Amino acid sequence: MDALRTESYRRGMTNEKLAPVILFQKAFIDNIRRNGRLDEIELIAQFKILGFAATRSPRFLFKDASLGLKLQAREKLHLRGEKVRDRGVVRRIFDRCQNGSA
């Protein structure tokens, strides 16, 4: 379903309500591809930038700011993400997935 949602979004055939979901998925996968692991702050930043570019709404940028402060106070938001040492392995995994070979 995610692949179909993404393709329909790419073709401009999706419901506007799904746009943030698809943008989040894109930011998430790009983050994993780049780091090999999830870097939470980078994910949030990329999602907010993609969302702002799509909506042009400053409200979108700051909508969840108070949640970030609460997460940080409870030490649930990690400011520094770790990268996988051998990102070549991650790159090969993504290449194989994109090329369709298993």
Specify the number of domains making up the chain: 1
Say what the pLDDT of residue 45 is.
92
pLDDT at residue 102 above 60? no
Kindly tell me if the per-residue pLDDT of 84 is higher than 70: yes
What is the DSSP secondary structure assignment for residue 11, as one 8-state letter? T
- State how far the alpha carbon of 4 is from the alpha carbons of 28, 41, 75, in Å: 17, 28, 36
Q: Residues 40-69: what's their mean pLDDT?
A: 89
pLDDT at 62 over 80: yes
Domain of residue 48, residue span: 2-99
- In angstroms, the CA 79 to CA 81 distance is 7
| pLDDT for position 55 | 86
Q: Is the predicted pLDDT of residue 43 greater than 90, yes or no? A: yes
- Using 50, 70 and 90 to split pLDDT, how confident is the model at 49? very high
